[in-house]
DNA sequence: ATCAAAGTTTGACAGTGATCGTACTTCCTG
DNA sequence: CAGGAAGTACGATCACTGTCAAACTTTGAT
């Protein structure tokens, strides 16, 4: 392979193997509402999203922190496209190790978002 | 009803309606490993357990705190029998509002307990 | 060559929550 | 009724984590 693919250029630290992630780590990641929002949006969008396209009520540096935590918890995979860092939900991989968990939480996310909108 | 049942005597504050519990509150309750252990034990035991019969690596006062959090999060129901405070997992109720969540987490609990035992 | 856009890194700060010991309450038993 | 068992309540620590601003890096456009 003569040239590294564009997606690989932006030295993003290696992603963890989901099988090496503990329930503890996953819950610590998902207990934060901002991070749960990110996961919910990625799940609903059904496509990869750049950090910037997900509206968050925090500063950019804080957002970076949250994406970092999600990546370390095996929930998202990140790669660069130009200057944008893309985020992909690691659905299948995650589901194999924590069956039903993502579904259960995203259900709650959707339900409570609806409730907010109706209010 | 001439006499209050024994179970009702020990003024335990009223239990919340599970439908009024947010995902946020549930996750804050379950992110703590001690509390997850309690839930796991209640789930495995398939019967109500007094606070004292669940071994915990913390002091009594801290244990009280954890049971309190679980009760407020709609995960357990408490009642007195003599001087013992019994704890019942609110399975069905909880499952109706957060379908799949308990199952998903207890699965992880069991799996990781097994891993520890094998080591 | 610049410039702007998109994120990252670093350091500091503040709020929260888990923890403990001590003192207190209730209930059962001898 | 005295003693013990089972928890609770209260305050005080202490560590962690979410937050931000400021300075920096990399990439794409003009």
- The 10s digit of each residue's pLDDT in B28-71 is 999 999 999 999 999 999 999 999 999 999 999 999 999 999 99
Query: Which DSSP letter does residue B86 get?
Result: E
pLDDT above 90 (res B96): yes
CB A76 within 8 A of CB A89: yes
Q: Is the CB of B68 under 7 A from strand C?
A: no
CA dist A25 and A101 (Å) reads 13
B101 close to B39: Cβ distance less than 8 angstroms: no
From A110's Cα to the closest Cα of chain B, the distance in A is: 11
Q: What is the largest CA-CA distance in chain B?
A: 56
What pLDDT does residue B11 have?
77
Residue A104's Cβ-side half-sphere holds a number of Cα atoms within 13 Å equal to 25
Helix (H) or strand (E) holding A79: strand A76-81
In the predicted structure, residue A82 carries a pLDDT above the cut 60: yes
Cβ contact A23–B36 (<8 Å): yes
Report d(CA A39, CA A20) in Å as an integer.
20
Decide if pLDDT at A7 tops 70: no
Q: How far apart are CA B65 and CA A90, in angstroms?
A: 36
pLDDT range class, residue B16, cuts 50, 70, 90: very high
CB contacts of A33 in chain B (<8 Å) are 24
Domains belonging to chain B, first-starting first, are 19-111 (1.10.10.10)
Strand C nucleotides where any atom sits below 7 Å of a protein CB: 5-11, 17-23, 26-28
Contact A98 B108 (CB under 8 A): yes
pLDDT of residue B117: 73
User: Is residue A100 scored above 70 in pLDDT?
Assistant: yes
What is chain B's Cα-based Rg? Answer: 15
Give the pLDDT of residue B6.
40
| pLDDT for the residue numbered B2 | 32
């Amino acid at each position: 392979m003569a040239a590294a693919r564009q997606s690989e250029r932006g030295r993003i630290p290696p992603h963890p193997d989901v099988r090496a992630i503990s329930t503890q780590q996953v819950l610590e990641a998902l207990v934060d509402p901002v991070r749960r929002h990110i996961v919910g949006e990625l799940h609903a969008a059904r496509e990869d999203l750049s950090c910037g396209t997900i509206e968050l009520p925090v500063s950019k540096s804080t957002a970076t922190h949250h994406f970092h935590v999600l990546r370390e918890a095996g929930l998202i995979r990140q790669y660069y496209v130009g200057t944008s860092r893309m985020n992909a939900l690691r659905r299948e991989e995650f589901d194999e190790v924590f069956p039903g968990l993502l579904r259960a939480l995203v259900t709650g996310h959707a339900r409570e978002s609806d409730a907010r909108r109706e209010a």
